[in-house]
């Protein structure tokens, strides 16, 4: 049910660049003139009224998509998306862009999709950054007061 609820939103997000999904006065004009004509004509019908009536908006929080799909906040699925939203943006699902999570879901469930994880997990990323910094003469200090950061 969630994949069906996400389908039209994911297609919209894939067809309209994120910069066009902004919340200013010119956003509608930009989207309508530049991107809407290129979208699947059935997309707006599938995304439109039902989602809009339920308060779903690509620039709004993904929690509204979960609500529209009938996913309860106490469910494992909702909590899993709360985790994914946090992993993506550092924010809970109630504050993470519906467009970002929707696109991520589309990618997760695409034919042949795989979820790559670095060998050694996330600590391997920190170790690689440490090697790069020290290799170039940088120094890493922990638990130290910082007055300024200089980037050259």
User: Can you give the pLDDT at residue 11?
Assistant: 67
DSSP string, 105-129: HHHHTSTT------TT-HHHHHHHH
User: Can you give the pLDDT at residue 8?
Assistant: 66
**In this structure, what DSSP letter does residue 12 have?**
H
User: Can you give the pLDDT at residue 33?
Assistant: 60
Q: What are phi and psi of 44, to 5 degrees?
A: -65, -35
C-alpha–C-alpha distance, residues 142 and 147, integer Å: 14
Q: What are the pLDDT tens digits along the chain (152 aa)?
A: 666 666 666 766 666 665 565 666 666 666 666 655 565 666 556 555 555 555 566 778 889 888 888 889 999 999 999 998 998 889 999 999 888 888 888 778 788 888 777 888 889 999 999 999 999 999 998 999 999 988 88
Angstrom CA distances, 33 to 14, 21, 48, 60, 83, stand at 17, 13, 17, 22, 36
């Amino acid at each position: 049910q969630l994949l069906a609820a996400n389908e039209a939103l994911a297609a919209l997000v894939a067809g309209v660049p994120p910069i066009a999904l902004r919340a200013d006065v010119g956003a509608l004009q930009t989207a309508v003139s530049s991107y809407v004509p290129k979208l699947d004509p059935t997309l707006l019908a599938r995304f439109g009224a039902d989602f809009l009536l339920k308060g779903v908006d690509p620039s709004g929080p993904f929690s509204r998509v979960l609500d529209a799909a009938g996913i309860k906040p106490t469910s494992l699925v909702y909590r899993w998306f709360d985790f994914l939203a946090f992993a993506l943006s550092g924010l809970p699902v109630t504050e993470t862009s519906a467009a970002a999570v929707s696109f991520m879901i589309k990618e997760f469930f695409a034919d042949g999709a795989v979820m790559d994880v670095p060998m050694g997990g996330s600590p391997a990323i920190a170790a690689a950054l440490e090697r790069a910094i020290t290799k170039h003469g940088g120094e890493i200090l922990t638990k130290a007061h910082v007055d300024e950061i200089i980037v050259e």
